[in-house]
Structure 1
Amino acid sequence: MIVGAGRRLVLIRHAQAERETAVDKERRLDARGREEASRAGRWLAGSGVTPDLVRVSGARRTTETWERVGTALPRLPVAVHEPGLYDLSVEIHRGEAGIGELVAMVRGSSDDVGDLVVVGHNPSLPGLVRLLVGTAGGDLSRLVEESGFPTASIAVLEFDGSWQGIGPGTARITAFWTPSQG
């Protein structure tokens, strides 16, 4: 983390996965997804973000996405597999949980972490952007909304203060990349 730059929360949606499997959590990346994840890694490596910690959903497609993204980075950060992140995403999708539970997971990060990466799913990631950025996000926030946060997309949010202080309207979106951008 660059001194004085604040903290960064980097949200990565898993890359394109197989359409049909008996268990959703076990879906693997397909050929397109493997390429998307590699391109996302190259973009992240050139973005100036230097992840200190990565929280990866317990789904196979998120693990495979992070493996490909991480290989492009000059330094591989600690990655923690969060089985509950997958379960929470399913609950948010069903309307059984709120984004606040995802915020609580982010707030649980140590303040030794400057750049935190979360590799997860829709609709929880764009919902988290909406909540943390609020109405002041401008064009990038609109792009997140209008795009639907495609597979392998990356949103970079910045904020000042402790992880425990992140909440509604406290962040600014500084970058949004999708595989269609190259």
Structure 2
Amino acid sequence: MTADAVRRLVLVRHAQAERETAVDHERRLDERGRTEASSAGRWLAATGIAPALARVSSARRTGETWERVRAALPRAPETVHERRIYDVSVDIHRREAGIEELIAILRQTPEEVGDLVVVGHNPSLHDLVDVLAVRGRDAAEDELSQRVARSGFPTAAVAVLTVDGPWQSLGPSLARLTDFWAPTD
């Protein structure tokens, strides 16, 4: 893939998980979450996006979400489970890190990857859409951004952004929000 090719970044928030467990990292999907994740997978499959790579937080709930999403896809992409995505998301939630730390992780995506799925957590994914997406250029994109903002990026939500140029240059206002789906849609 050339450096100036258009890439797609697909952000999937984990589906509904158990409320309380002794260890947050080990929370499983509940019944609603299993249904949500399967629905998200069917929606993603219907878009025709064929991800080459999935970068999945190492938390149990994100792994279980990805299993159900991936099951709906016509072709399973390479999957990498990453503790750093979980750790940075926790730090962002605690306000001990900024979204730029998650962007730095995504910049390490191999350049030959055209379509990338990231399965993670909130508020990280909501913040990521907010930082990456260009505003004010297109009314349809602005409406999508407003839908994301109003929704709060609920469990199992999926945002699709297009990225012009290499993953290494990913940064603020360098992507276009092209689609958004949530189980409540």
State whether structure 2 residue 152 is matched by structure 1 residue 148: yes
**Equivalent position of 1:168 in the other structure:** 172
Matches within 5 A, 1:1-182: 6-136=6-136, 137-181=141-185
Q: Segments of 4+ in structure 1 off by > 4 A?
A: none
Whichever residue aligns with residue 73 of structure 1, its letter is L
**Per-residue CA shift, 1:64-100, capped at 9, x if unaligned?**
0000000000100000001111111110011100100
Using structure 2 for the length normalisation, give the TM-score: 0.94
**Distance (Å, rounded) in 1 between the aligned partners of 2:126 and 2:20:** 24
**Percent of aligned pairs sharing the same letter:** 64
* Unaligned stretches of 5+ residues in structure 2: none
Aligned length: 179
Using structure 1 for the length normalisation, give the TM-score: 0.95
- Could you tell me how far 1:6 is from its partner in structure 2? 1.0
* Unaligned stretches of 5+ residues in structure 1: none
Matched position secondary structure for 1:180: coil
**Distance (Å, rounded) in 2 between the aligned partners of 1:51 and 1:179:** 21
Contact map agreement 2:28 2:60 (CA 8 A) in 1:
yes
Root mean square deviation, CA, Å: 1.3
